[in-house]
Amino acid sequence: MTLLVGTRASPLARIQADAVIDRLKAGGMDARAVPLQTRGDQSLGGDLSTHVGQFVTGLDARLLSGEVDLTVHSSKDVPTDLAESILQLGHLERAPPHDLLLFATEREGVPTLDALLSDKQAVTTPSEALAHLPPNAHLGTVSVRRQAMALHLRPDLLPIAVRGAVETRLNRLLEGRADAVLLAEAGLRRLAERGALEAPHLSLNALRLDLASWPCAPGQGAIAVHAARDSMHDLEALRGVLDHRPTSQAVRDERRVLAELGGGCLAPVAAHVMDDGAYVAVAEPSWRVHVARRRAPAVHRWTGAAETFQPPSWTDTSPPEPALGRRLITTASSSRLTDEAALTNVNVVHQRVLAFEVLHDHWPTTVVPEGTPRRTWPWLLLSSPSAARMIIEELDVCPDLARLPWAALGRGTALAALERGHTVAFCAEAEDGAGFAEALLEALDPEIPLLLPRSDQARPALLEALKAAGRKVQAWTAYRTTPAPVDPIEVEENDVLLVTSPSAIRAWHSSGHAVPGHVLCMGEASERALHDHPEFQDTTVHRLHGPSAEALRTWWKTHTEGQEWT
């Protein structure tokens, strides 16, 4: 009888399935691979990390239907709450479980991937490895473990969703979609050993991260084999052929740590069990909030015998007392920008003057043409932090949007999405819609359709530039922006007002607020609106250029060195 081994169809998944089949044949059993597709294979979006175990549960469902006899998985993808009807037969001997940091451009003194794979002893501390990246670099990974651990060391980094098969991610790195990517050594090694990596992939510079200071995902590097618990096959005989006991014991210990922390395979938890004990790292529950404000999230580290592990207890920190310096009044919808700017001796006052109403009837209900290749799917464009917030909060209106890759105008927009659990696939370092359009036209294939949810107050520059270039754009008014019903606060001449959009400028005036002597703005549209508005003619307008938080910090330092404004 021939055992049917269910596997995903990607090259790496087939290699892992072939390793299982080789073990079975060595044990005197016949087997063949059955490539299968799951819902996870049909998703590209940065929110895939919110759907635990899509690949695993999709394949294991075929066990219960009788389509296959065994399924093969990367152990790190297996949920901790495996269904009772599914039996984990065991694990093949583990490959090196390290993470590798691969760079888009050559780094002096850093070996090629090919050379690194040949030298199993070469390891680097994560701090030394990440030091090779320039400030504000784009780091390709959607793994919450990798994101939290990297941003703990380098809060200036911006995570970028680089998804797909390993070869696809390497190609995205070569295309410049990110400055570096983090990938598991095990998958790269298996592909390289089968000759499945091309010369440009093997020529990429790469560093292997030390497991003691950068633990892997629980189960990383191990291949898990599942069967239906009520299978008619001799499961113990199969276990005897397939299971490498030291690997299974280590994976069980790592997954026990993960379960005690209440996480699944997509929690910000790292755990690796070695001969001398377990190495665990877990990020604080609110790590995304800190990251969105460019603060290093706390990471709890623990070393010891796996069976003695105790989950950390996190304590809430009280917000700092307001500063007593000059007042910066901001109309931003959240404190993210001013928090990130980390201004000193500044009393920041938030006076939100805009309200947002989602226009559900305007939204599309489906945007993914079923049965079409993923490379032809649309990209979702986010033109502001408000747009990111509106889309994520209302994804139930059109769930298809979560399956798409997202592009963001500026870091503030990308961070607003990240704070809410979604990693964008592209971030344009642009100040306005025209700059965003220019970056998109350069980065994306001209045949890719684009989706643009907009405010009813949106400026036309982005849409007009994309259409003028012949791009296929579906735009809709996703939400309405209106003045918020707020009472005006007292404004002094020495205050500084930070306005975030032309609609915020109009709302500031319509709500009865006075205008201080200095007003900061971002983007050409806001600057023009300030100069055109009759109530702002006697104020000094300052436009911030470049990344908003950095520009705000620089402006504030420059203009507060003396007692008088300059």
**What DSSP line would sit under 297-319, residue for residue?**
PPEEEEEE-GGG-------PPPP
The CA-based angle 487-514-324, given to 5 degrees, is 85
Phi, psi of 332 (to 5 degrees): -60, 150
- If you search the block for the tokens 């700017």, which residue do you land on? 341
Q: Which of 521, 545, 544 is nearest to 533 (CA)?
A: 521
pLDDT value at position 565? 43
Q: What is the largest CA-CA distance in the chain?
A: 88
Is residue 379 within 8 A of residue 406, CB to CB? The reply is: yes
pLDDT along the chain (566 residues), means of 10: 93 96 96 81 49 73 93 92 91 97 94 97 98 96 96 97 93 95 98 96 98 96 96 94 96 92 75 90 94 93 91 73 79 88 88 93 90 90 94 93 95 94 94 93 95 93 96 96 93 92 93 94 90 94 88 88 47
Q: Which of 510, 494, 495, 491 is nearest to 353 (CA)?
A: 510
3-state secondary structure 479-520: EEEEECCCCCCCCCCCCEEECCCHHHHHHHHHCCCCCCCEEE
| Size of the chain in residues | 566
| Cα distances (Å, whole numbers) of residue 559 to 330, 518, 553 | 17, 11, 10
Q: Which helix (H) or strand (E) holds 140?
A: strand 138-140
Q: How far, in Å, CA of 453 to CA of 379, rounded? A: 11
Q: How far, in Å, CA of 510 to CA of 483, rounded? A: 8
pLDDT value at position 374? 85
Domain 356-483 belongs to what architecture? 3-Layer(aba) Sandwich (3.40)
pLDDT value at position 318? 60
Which sign does the torsion angle of CA 50, 53, 58, 61 carry? Answer: negative
pLDDT value at position 53? 56
Q: Which helix (H) or strand (E) holds 277?
A: strand 277-283
3-state secondary structure 155-221: CCCEEECCCCCHHHHHHHHHCCCCCEEEEEHHHHHHHHHCCCCCHHHHCCEEEEECCCCCCCCCCCC
Angle at which helix 166-174 crosses helix 11-26, to 10 degrees, equals 150
CATH number of 326-353+487-559: 3.40.50.10090
Q: Which of 311, 284, 106 is nearest to 205 (CA)?
A: 106
pLDDT value at position 321? 64
In the chain, domain spans: 326-353+487-559, 356-483
